[in-house]
């Protein structure tokens, strides 16, 4: 038996329903595509994020400070006092915890912070902000933030700035003992200062470093001693280090440095003997180069004393005239300094002639060449 024929009306309705179904499928597919796009910032999968990941590191002395964070965009929104309410804890970035890691003990706004990695949170205010260093550094945002886990809180002032679209952290005003960490986003900047006791940290670190390969060479022991002396630390420890340096290889450099260490601990006769021995061992050019190295270390008076002694070896040499010029500069006598440096220029080897010509020019402009 043949199937009954469907009417034209029925066929038309079926075609219409089929067409609507096709359109519906396309629309649903489009929704899935858009939903997938919205879900591209996955907490589980490695996909592109709107708030890009960033990491910055600054070394202060021998301490590394690292900030790891995500950079949200302002995107035309009022952020502080709007999207982020005043008085509420904020993750100081986007996505996972913003973290700050210090490789040794530091102080933040004058308060001690131990070595470690911390979750960085902030509480924005209209004029002042609270910066929080949390012992928990593995959370997502500030949703599970707990005051009981605070390692440190400091209060700082905020400052108005021109629009800053992407949140950023910067290390401003770096020295060998401090740096200012500045957060900038939208129209606000918040800064806090980190200080590092570099001499004390280096002194402690040297003991560990000198247990490694360097313990078998003369120079690391002398470099350690020079650092201690230049930073007015433990002169007795410096003298002990120099004894180890000399035991490995006796040189004019470590003998002269030993003389200053012994003098600093009151052993004047021993210091004089080490000084005389060192001066006899080094050539005039070697001792001049060593004295210039002392100036670079900040041991200015010791370098000038060495110039005076070294000139006596041969006052008419280029080294002697160069050192006479440097002593004149230290006394503020630039006229004599220019005269002596011109004599050094004439007597110097060809390879050093241009350097002396430049030194003459600098002295004519009354520049302190001992720095």
Residue 168, judged by CB atoms within 10 A of its CB (0-12, 13-18, 19+), counts as middle
**Strand pairing class (63-71; 98-102):** antiparallel
Rg of the chain over CA atoms, in angstroms? 34
CA-nearest of 101, 111, 106 to 155 is 111
Minimum mean pLDDT range among 27-31, 43-47, 189-193: 27-31
pLDDT, position 42: 60
Q: What is the pLDDT of residue 10?
A: 46
Rounded CA gap, 213 and 196, in Å? 27
Maximum Cα interatomic distance, the chain, rounded to a whole number of Å: 132
pLDDT tens digits, one per residue of 194-204: 999 999 999 99
Enumerate domains of the chain plus CATH numbers. 52-195 (no CATH), 199-364 (1.25.40)
User: What angle, rounded to 10 degrees, do the helices at 252-264 and 235-248 form?
Assistant: 160
Separation CA 47–CA 69 (nearest Å): 16
Q: How far apart are CA 16 and CA 10, in angstroms?
A: 10
Concatenating the DSSP letter of every residue in 85-141 gives -TTS-B-SSSSBPEEEEESS-EEETTEEE-SEEEEEEEE--SSEEEEEEES--SSBT
Q: pTM of the prediction? A: 0.74
Q: What is the pLDDT of residues 211-267, one digit of tens each?
A: 999 999 999 999 999 999 999 999 999 999 999 999 999 999 999 999 999 999 999
Distance CA 242, CA 225 (A): 6
The b-or-e profile of 18-40 (16+ CB within 10 A means b, else e) is eeeeeeeeeeeeeeeeeeeeeee
Cα distances (Å, whole numbers) of residue 351 to 28, 152, 282, 290, 357: 80, 57, 21, 19, 12
Mean pLDDT of 49-61: 93
Residues 318-362 have pLDDT tens digits of 999 999 999 999 999 999 999 999 999 999 999 999 999 999 999
pLDDT band at 299 (very low <50, low <70, confident <90, very high): confident
User: pLDDT (tens digit, 9 = 90+) per residue, 74-123?
Assistant: 999 999 998 889 999 999 999 889 999 999 999 999 999 999 999 999 99
Q: Which residues contact 223 (CB under 8 A, 6 or more apart)?
A: none
**Is the pLDDT assigned to residue 33 strictly greater than 60?**
no
């Amino acid at each position: 038996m043949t199937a009954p024929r469907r009417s034209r009306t029925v066929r038309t309705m079926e075609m219409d329903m089929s067409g609507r179904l096709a359109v519906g499928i396309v629309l649903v597919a489009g929704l899935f595509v858009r939903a997938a796009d919205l879900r591209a910032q996955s907490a589980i999968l490695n996909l592109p994020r709107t708030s890009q990941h960033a990491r910055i590191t600054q070394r202060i002395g021998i301490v590394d400070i690292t900030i790891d964070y995500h950079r949200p965009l302002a995107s035309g929104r009022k952020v502080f006092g709007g999207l982020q309410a005043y008085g509420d804890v904020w993750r100081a970035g986007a996505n996972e915890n913003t973290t700050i890691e210090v490789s040794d003990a530091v102080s933040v706004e004058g308060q001690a912070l131990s070595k470690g990695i911390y979750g960085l949170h902030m509480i924005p205010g209209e004029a002042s902000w609270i910066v929080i260093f949390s012992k928990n550094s593995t959370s997502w945002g500030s949703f599970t933030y707990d005051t009981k886990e605070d390692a440190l809180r400091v209060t700082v002032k905020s400052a108005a700035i021109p629009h800053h679209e992407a949140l950023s952290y910067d290390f401003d005003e770096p020295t060998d003992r401090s740096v200012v960490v500045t957060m900038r986003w939208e129209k606000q900047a918040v800064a806090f200062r980190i200080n590092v006791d570099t001499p004390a940290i280096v002194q402690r670190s040297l003991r560990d470093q000198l247990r490694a390969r360097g313990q078998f060479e003369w120079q690391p022991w002398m470099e350690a001693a020079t650092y201690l002396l230049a930073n007015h630390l433990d002169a007795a420890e410096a003298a002990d280090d120099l004894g180890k340096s000399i035991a490995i290889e006796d040189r004019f450099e470590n003998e002269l440095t030993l003389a200053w260490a012994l003098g600093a601990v009151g052993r004047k006769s021993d210091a004089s003997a080490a000084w005389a021995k060192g001066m006899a061992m080094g050539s005039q050019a070697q001792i001049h180069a060593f004295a210039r190295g002392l100036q670079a270390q900040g041991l200015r008076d010791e370098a000038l004393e060495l110039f005076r002694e070294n000139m006596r070896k041969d006052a008419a040499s280029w080294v002697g005239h160069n050192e006479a010029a440097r002593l004149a500069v230290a006394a503020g006598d630039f006229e004599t300094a220019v005269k002596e440096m011109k004599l050094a220029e004439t007597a110097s080897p060809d390879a050093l002639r241009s350097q002396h010509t430049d030194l003459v020019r600098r002295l004519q402009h009354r520049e302190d060449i001992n720095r």
